[in-house]
Structure formats: structure tokens, C-alpha cells
């Protein structure tokens, strides 16, 4: 998938290398299917919220 903007083509992840490891399974599963990626990241956010609520 091409970058939405050339601005991001040469940039490293602003969230750091740990985020790349966390996001990798969702990114690989979704591929170029944006709706699946959105659902995956929403589920990750929900799981993170619930995990931190203890």
C-alpha cells in the first residue's frame, strides 16, 4: 500500500520500536484491508484499557 503522503515515506515510527512489535500482528493479518486493521487496532485499544484497569 502506498503512503497517504510522501511526508511519511521517509519517516520512522513516531511511537518507537516497541509499538512496531505490538502492531505487527495486526498489520500482517490485515494486509491492505483497512477495515480489518481498524477493527484490530480498536480491539487492541480495548484490551489495553481493560488490562490497565486492574
Each residue's pLDDT tens digit, 2-28: 656 666 667 777 788 898 899 999 999
Measured between alpha carbons, how far is 35 from 23 in angstroms, rounded to an integer? 15
Answer yes or no: is 15 within a domain.
yes
Provide the number of structural domains found in the chain.
1
Answer yes or no: is 47 within a domain.
yes
Answer yes or no: is 3 within a domain.
no
What integer pLDDT is reported at residue 28 of this predicted model? 95
Cell of 22: 505490538
Task: Find the domain containing 31 and state its range.
Answer: 10-51
Answer yes or no: is 4 within a domain.
no
Amino acid at each position: 500500500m502506498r503512503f497517504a503522503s510522501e511526508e511519511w515515506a521517509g519517516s520512522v515510527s513516531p511511537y518507537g520500536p516497541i509499538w512496531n512489535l505490538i502492531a505487527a500482528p495486526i498489520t500482517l493479518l490485515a494486509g491492505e484491508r483497512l477495515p480489518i486493521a481498524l477493527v484490530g487496532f480498536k480491539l487492541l485499544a480495548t484490551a489495553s484499557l481493560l488490562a490497565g484497569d486492574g
